Amino acid sequence: MISDDGRQVAFSSKAHNLGCGKGGTRCLFVKDLRTGALTTVGYLDNLDHWAPMVISGDGSHVGYSEGSHSPWGYVYDRTSGTTVRIAPADPPPDASQTELLAFDRHARHLAFRAGNRYGPNEGLYLYVRDTATGADRLVSGPEDGSKTAAQLSGDGRRVAFATRATADRPGGVYVADVRTGARVRADRGLGTAALVRLSADGRSVVLTAQGGTYVRDLRTGRLRRVADTPAVTAGPQAREVLLSTAQGLSLLDVRTGRTTPVAPAGSTAQPGAVGARGRGVVFTSAADGLVPGDTNAAADVFVRLPK
């Protein structure tokens, strides 16, 4: 995951040279690409269940979820060096875990889901927290089914979320106004779709469906198919879309149609891997020769910076 300005990168590693990997331990880090400073955020032992890290747009806060039986979401404040566990102030029935899903730009708001990993209530409750007041607002409850993903606009006023399809309920992608509760369905007309990114201004959403990538303008309702390949992730403005093909990773500018190669075949990336205006793309690759001296054929984390 990378901050909007492309300076801070959050990643996990089992690399022995970083003090990780012993007994299966995975370390969570943030690296400042300008100074080279590496900060340890946390550790996960080999019994932990965990979810990918998330980072606020300004790079000030990092979130992760972990736990040996019932994982919980945590927020690490890079300024104070403190870590806080995330749980609803008024927990719903049978909720024994949380997962942190997204921050807004300055971590004033965060989105998390709550439920029970071992029961039918996994991820049924989606909240947005105001970190200044500590108030939680329930955005979506059991009536929508389990929540699989969420994204916040830069100011935290809008949240996009996806729900899981079941035998008796279709899944969907929605965008809601956190204050009023008003929502629109972003994937209408697409059938089964997945959420990729809500733009920082809250005006558009990137989706994958029908083997391709789409951008929905939430003001006009206009839907555009921008690629015939499903996107892995997209930048904060929803203009740069990261695609994965047999040839590798490439960055598509949906406004100009220009495609820029990023990484070779076999490379992978996660949500949040693209900085604003393409200022850095984080990916994992086992390819040799991407940087001088890397010839061990082991998977490493790289950042592709704009020229």
State the pLDDT at residue 295: 66
State the pLDDT at residue 182: 96
Domain ranges of the chain: 8-185
Q: What is the pLDDT along the chain (307 residues), one digit of tens a residue?
A: 999 999 999 998 888 888 786 766 788 999 999 999 999 998 877 555 677 899 999 999 999 988 777 788 999 999 999 999 999 988 887 778 899 999 999 999 999 999 887 666 667 899 999 999 999 999 999 889 899 999 999 999 999 999 988 877 788 999 999 999 999 999 999 988 999 999 999 999 999 999 999 999 999 999 999 999 999 999 999 999 999 999 999 999 999 999 999 999 999 999 999 998 888 999 999 888 788 777 676 788 999 987 7
The CATH homologous superfamily to which domain 8-185 belongs is Prolyl oligopeptidase, N-terminal domain (2.130.10.120)
Other Cβ atoms within 10 Å of 119 Cβ, number: 11
State the pLDDT at residue 4: 93
Residue recorded with tokens 């369905």: 185
State the pLDDT at residue 5: 92
State the pLDDT at residue 121: 65
| Cα separation, 160 vs 305, whole angstroms | 28
The residues pairing with 223 across neighbouring beta strands, listed in sequence order, are 216
Give the list of residues 6+ apart from residue 43 with CB closer than 8 angstroms, or none: 20, 25, 26, 27, 28
Helix (H, G, I), strand (E, B) or coil at 144: helix
State the pLDDT at residue 264: 93
State the pLDDT at residue 91: 84
Helix (H, G, I), strand (E, B) or coil at 242: strand
Its pTM stands at 0.91
State the pLDDT at residue 289: 76
